Structure 1
Amino acid sequence: MRYGSVCSGIEAASKAWEPIGWKPAWFSEIEPFPSAVLAQHWPEVSNLGDMTKIADAVRAGDVEAPDVLVGGTPCQAFSIAGLREGLSDDRGQLTLSYVELANAIDAKRRERGETEAIIVWENVPGVLSSKDNAFGCFLAGLAGESSELQPAGGKWTHAGCVSGPERVIAWRVLDAQFFGVAQQRRRVFVVASARKGFDPAEILFEQDVGSGSTEANNVGVERRSSTVDNCTLYRFRRTDSYIDDGVSSTLSARDYKDRRELVVMADNRVRTLTPLEYERLQGFPDGHTLIQYGEKLADDAPRYKAIGNSMAVPVMRWIGERIAAALPAEKLSGDYGGSKTPPDQRDLWRTPPALFASLNDEFCFQLDAAAAPHNALCRKFITADQNTLETLWADYLNVPGYVWLNPPYSDITPFVKKASAESRNQIGTVMLVPADTSVGWFREAIETASEVRFITAGRLAFINPVTGKPVSGNNKGSMLIIWHPYPRTHCHFATVERDELMTFGAKLLARREAA
C-alpha cells in the first residue's frame, strides 16, 4: 500500500505505518521546521508543499494517485482556540481542498482501472460542533451530496456512519491514552472509501467488546507508558489546578509559548516536560525532532510546536492495522505487487511508442520478445502462445543483437532469468520494469545485467489495453535493465530523464511520418 500525506507535519502516519509495510508516495507540508524533519527522515520522498495544487497535478498525471490519502487539515478553524471561524477561515477551506484531492485521486485511479483510495482524516472534536456545521459540509463533500448533511438530534455524535453517491464514511472520537501513551488526547478520526466490499465502519467500530482499543473497552486496563523514569505526570485542569492521575493534558502547538504540563520528580522538584517527553507522549521514537536545523541542532520551541500539532502514532497504527486486515489478500504469481489493474488487463499495458522509438534508435531491436500481433513493436515478435520463456530467441534474430522486452509485471522473475540466460548466447536484452529495488527479481537481475537506467523526472504513461490511449499517473517509476550481448565487467547504474527520452522519440516518429 502506498499513501499520500497532506498537512504532513512530522509524519505520525509514516512512523505508524512503517511496521505494516506501507510506503509514502509523497508528502505535503509548507511549514519550514516540519519540512526539515521530513527531509531528514524521508529524503527520498517528495514534499509537494501547497496541498491546494496537488489535485490538478494528480489529474494531469504528474503526481501519483495513491492507495491511501491521509491528513489532518488545520484544526484551528474548527477549535475554540481558532475562534471557531470554521469554513470561512482560509485554514478551514483546506478541508474542502482535501475533498477535492480525494475526488481527483479516485478519478485517476478509476481511469487506470484501479480500486478507489481509502481516506483517513483527523481533527479536533470541536469540528463536530462548529457553528457553521463544518463537519456536515465535510461529510457531504466526501459522500458526494449536493448540500451539507445535518446531524440527527441537532448535533453530531462522537461516532457515526453515513453513505452517499460517492463514498461510505465512518467517524469516531478516539483518545490516545487508551492506545499506550500517557496523554489524554481526544481526536475525531474519519475513514471513508468508495471501494466495493470495503466498510469503513468495520475499521473504526469493534465488534468484539473487550478486545479492542477503545475507552469503553479499556476501563481499568493499564496500557500507558511513562515518559521518564521515577516521575509523576500532573495533568492541568480548567480550574487552574493539577491532578495526579498518570496522564498528561493534551499536547498542543501552543505549548512552546505556554507549557503548563508538569512533572514532579522523585526529589519533589517541579519542571516542565522536555521535547523528548513530548515525543514519547505522542508515540514517536526518541529524538525524532532533534534534527540539524540551520547551522545547529533544533531549538526546543519548534520541536514543541511540531509535536503538539502532530497525531498520536499508536492511534494511527491501530487504524492502519485494521485497514490492512480488512483488505483482501491479493495473490500474485510473482513478487511485484504494485499493480491494482484488473488481472485480465494487468499484463497487457503497452510501451509508449516514443519511448520505444528513442531506445530503438540506440539498440536497433530485432525482436519484441513478449507481444501480440496488435501491439508488437518489432517486425518479429513472440506471442504468449509461443511462450517466450521456452523459445530460443536466436531463431528470430541475427546474433549478436538486441531484444526488446516489456514483461508481464505480474511475474517478472522468470523473464529476468531468461534474459540472463540469453545473454550467454550473445543476445542482448533491454527490459522495461517498475523502478523497485526491494524485490527479489531486481537483486537477481543486477547479478548478471550490464546496466540499470532509472527513468527520472516523471513517470511513464503506458497505453491502456482497452482504450488504446496513454494513461498518466503510473503508481511507480520505471527503469531499464540492460543485458549487453558481450561479457560484462560489472553492473553500471545510470539515470535518464523521461522527457528527454520521450521528446527525442517523438521527433523520430514525426520524421518517420513525414517520410
Structure 2
Amino acid sequence: MNKYLSLSETSELVGKSKATLRRWDKEGILKAVREPVSNYRVYKKKDVETLLGKLFEDVEEETISNFVEPNQDYSVLELFAGAGGLAVGLEKSGLKCVALNEIDKWACNTLRQNRPNWNVLEGDIKDFNFSEYKNKVDVVTGGFPCQAFSYAGKKLGLKDARGTLFYEFARVVQEVSPAICIGENVRGLLSHEKGKTLQGMISILDEIGYNIVPIQVLKAINYKVPQKRERLILVGIRKDINVKYKYPDPYKKIYNLSDALKKGELFNKNVPKSEGAKYPESKKKVLDLVPPKGYWRDLPVEIQKEYMGGSFFLGGGKTGMARRIGWDEPSLTLTCSPAQKQTERCHPDETRPFTVREYARVQTFPDEWKFNGSMAQQYKQIGNAVPVNLGRELGYSIVAFLNDYYNSLNPK
C-alpha cells in the first residue's frame, strides 16, 4: 500500500491550495518528506490523516494567514490618499509611507493630525513632480477615480489619457519607476465603457514598462472587514522583474456588524460614543417599522407606495432602501452620506444612521484615528476609504512580493 501522497493529492484531500501546503510545510503544520525512490517532495499519508482529524475536530479554526515579515524596509508613495485607510493598512503590514498626495484639505488635515511624521503633499497631483523619488520607492499606490478616455487610436497610449487622473497615476509611476504599482478602484471599472477603460489603463501601463497581473476584485468580507465592499485591484510589475505577485488569500471567517461595534476579535472594547447624522422625522417613522435585516418590502404596502414613489412600480430589488442592518450580518457598503434615500444603513436597535465612530469601525479604522472637518466631511472621508484591514492584507501580499524580488537579486 502506498504510504505517500503527492502535493496535488494532498491539496485535493485537505481542500487547501498548493501554496497553503507549502506554507504549512515551512510553518511545521504539515511537513513534506522526500519519497525514498523518486526523491520527490511528498506527504506521509498518516500525517495527512492526523491533520484531517485535527481539522475536523476544530473546523472553525482559521488556518490561513497572509502575515509575512518584511526582510528590509520597503517604502510606499501613495497617491489619492484620502483619509488614510489604505495607508494605515499598509503601515500595519510593515510598509513605510514616504509621501502621500491628496487634494482634499480636510483629508490632508486628518492625515497630518494622526501621523505628524508623514510627508503629506496637499494639492492637485498635476502640480507635483515626483522625480526625486525615482528608484527610491518600492511601491506606488493610488485609488484614482474612474474616468473615460477618448479612443482616438486602437491602442491607447499615455498621451491619449491626458486630463484624466489615471494619466497622473501612470505619469507618477513612470517618474518613480517602482518595482510594483497598485491601483484600486470600484468594481464598476470592469464594465465601464464596455471594458474599454480598463483595457486602456492596462495598455498605458504596458507602454510605460509594466506587466499587469490578472485583475481581481477583492471582497472586503474575506479580509476581516465586517462590510460587503468590493475593490478592483490593478497590479503592475516592472518588466525587468521576473517574480510572480500573488493576491492575499481570502479568510474563511466572515465578521458581522456585532464584531464591528462590540468588544470581540476585531476590537478590544465597544465602539466609542460619537456624534452622528439623524433621519428627518418623516423617515424615522417609516424606518421604525423595518425589522433588523429588513428593507422597504417589509413595510405595509400603502407605506411602501408612499415611501418609494414611482420606484415602487419599477420592480427590481432596491434592497438598500429603508434598510436596517442586522447584528449577525456584515454591513452593506458604506457610502459618503449615511442618510441619503437610496442607501440607508439603519442601526439594528435604534432608528438612526451609524455614528461617525461606528462608520469608522465598519471600515476597520482604529478608534484612535481621528477625522478632521465637519460631520459631513468626516462621513465622506470614511465612506471613500479603503477598509484598513483589506489594506493590511494587500500590504502583506506586497511585502511577500518584495521579499521574493530582493532575494532574487541576492540569491544565497
Normalising by the smaller structure, the TM-score range is 0.5 to 0.7
Q: Kindly provide the CA deviation profile for residues 256-277 of structure 1, in whole angstroms up to 9, marking residues without a partner as x.
A: 6556111122xxx322101101
Q: 1:329: how far off?
A: 6.6
Q: How many angstroms apart in 2 are the aligned matches of 1:91 and 1:238?
A: 37
2:130 is aligned with 1:58: yes
* Alignment correspondent of 1:120: 182
Q: Kindly provide the CA deviation profile for residues 449-487 of structure 1, in whole angstroms up to 9, marking residues without a partner as x.
A: xxxxxxxxxxxxxxxxxxxxxxxxxxxxxxxxxxxxxxx
* Alignment correspondent of 2:205: 142
* Contact 1:234–1:262 under 8 Å retained in 2: no
SS in 2 for 1:100: helix
CA gap 1:252/1:129 in 2 versus in 1, 3 angstroms: same
Q: Kindly provide the CA deviation profile for residues 34-67 of structure 1, in whole angstroms up to 9, marking residues without a partner as x.
A: 011011122232222322234xx233x3778411
2:261 is aligned with 1:228: yes
Choose which of 319, 324, 334 in structure 1 pairs with 2:399: 324
Choose which of 171, 193, 202 in structure 1 pairs with 2:237: 193
Aligned alpha-carbon RMSD (Å)? 3.3
Q: How many angstroms apart in 1 are the aligned matches of 2:100 and 2:88?
A: 13
Q: 1:170: how far off?
A: 3.0
Letter in structure 2 aligned against 1:174 = L
* Contact 1:235–1:261 under 8 Å retained in 2: no
2:306 is aligned with 1:261: no
TM-score, normalization by structure 2: 0.59
Q: 1:223: how far off?
A: 3.6
* Alignment correspondent of 1:280: 361
Q: 1:252: how far off?
A: 1.9
Choose which of 377, 384, 394 in structure 2 pairs with 1:302: 377
CA gap 1:288/1:233 in 2 versus in 1, 3 angstroms: farther
SS in 2 for 1:303: helix
* 1:51-450 aligned within 5 A: 51-54=125-128, 57-59=129-131, 61=132, 65-75=136-146, 77=147, 86-87=148-149, 93-106=164-177, 116-131=178-193, 133-144=196-207, 166-194=210-238, 195-200=240-245, 202-203=246-247, 212-213=249-250, 218=252, 221-224=253-256, 226-229=259-262, 234=293, 238-239=318-319, 240-242=321-323, 244=326, 246-255=329-338, 260-265=344-349, 269-291=350-372, 298-328=373-403
Letter in structure 2 aligned against 1:289 = K
TM-score, normalization by structure 1: 0.48
Q: How many angstroms apart in 1 are the aligned matches of 2:368 and 2:205?
A: 37
Q: 1:73: how far off?
A: 0.5
2:85 is aligned with 1:40: no
Q: How many angstroms apart in 2 are the aligned matches of 1:235 and 1:123?
A: 29
Q: Kindly provide the CA deviation profile for residues 107-149 of structure 1, in whole angstroms up to 9, marking residues without a partner as x.
A: xxxxxxxxx421111100111111161111111111228xxxx
Q: 1:168: how far off?
A: 3.6
Q: How many angstroms apart in 2 are the aligned matches of 1:65 and 1:50?
A: 22
Q: How many angstroms apart in 1 are the aligned matches of 2:255 and 2:141?
A: 26
* 1:454-493 aligned within 5 A: none
* Contact 2:226–2:256 under 8 Å retained in 1: yes
CA gap 1:53/1:299 in 2 versus in 1, 3 angstroms: closer
Q: How many angstroms apart in 1 are the aligned matches of 2:207 and 2:392?
A: 28
* Contact 1:58–1:64 under 8 Å retained in 2: no
Judge which range, 323-332 or 118-127, deviates more. 323-332
SS in 2 for 1:28: strand
CA gap 1:234/1:71 in 2 versus in 1, 3 angstroms: farther
Q: How many angstroms apart in 1 are the aligned matches of 2:100 and 2:236?
A: 20
Q: How many angstroms apart in 1 are the aligned matches of 2:401 and 2:292?
A: 37
SS in 2 for 1:138: helix
2:28 is aligned with 1:28: no
Q: How many angstroms apart in 1 are the aligned matches of 2:135 and 2:241?
A: 22
Q: How many angstroms apart in 2 are the aligned matches of 1:62 and 1:121?
A: 18
* 1:10-29 aligned within 5 A: 10-29=83-102
CA gap 1:170/1:39 in 2 versus in 1, 3 angstroms: same
| Structure number having the greater strand percentage | 1
Which consecutive residues of structure 2, in runs of 5 or more, have no partner in the other structure?
Answer: 1-73, 151-160, 263-269, 272-290, 296-316
Q: Kindly provide the CA deviation profile for residues 286-322 of structure 1, in whole angstroms up to 9, marking residues without a partner as x.
A: 152344xxxxxx4321110000111011111111112
CA gap 1:124/1:62 in 2 versus in 1, 3 angstroms: closer
* Alignment correspondent of 1:490: none
| Structure number having the greater helix percentage | 2
* Contact 1:121–1:191 under 8 Å retained in 2: yes
Which consecutive residues of structure 1, in runs of 5 or more, have no partner in the other structure?
Answer: 78-85, 107-115, 146-164, 205-211, 292-297, 333-339, 344-515
Q: 1:222: how far off?
A: 3.5
Letter in structure 2 aligned against 1:323 = I
Q: 1:324: how far off?
A: 1.2
Q: 1:101: how far off?
A: 1.2
* Contact 1:179–1:224 under 8 Å retained in 2: no
* Contact 1:235–1:249 under 8 Å retained in 2: no
Q: How many angstroms apart in 1 are the aligned matches of 2:136 and 2:337?
A: 34
Higher relative contact order at CA 8 Å, sep ≥6: structure 1 or structure 2?
2
CA gap 1:139/1:63 in 2 versus in 1, 3 angstroms: closer
* Contact 2:243–2:405 under 8 Å retained in 1: no
State the identity %.
Answer: 25
Q: 1:331: how far off?
A: 9.1
CA gap 1:4/1:125 in 2 versus in 1, 3 angstroms: same
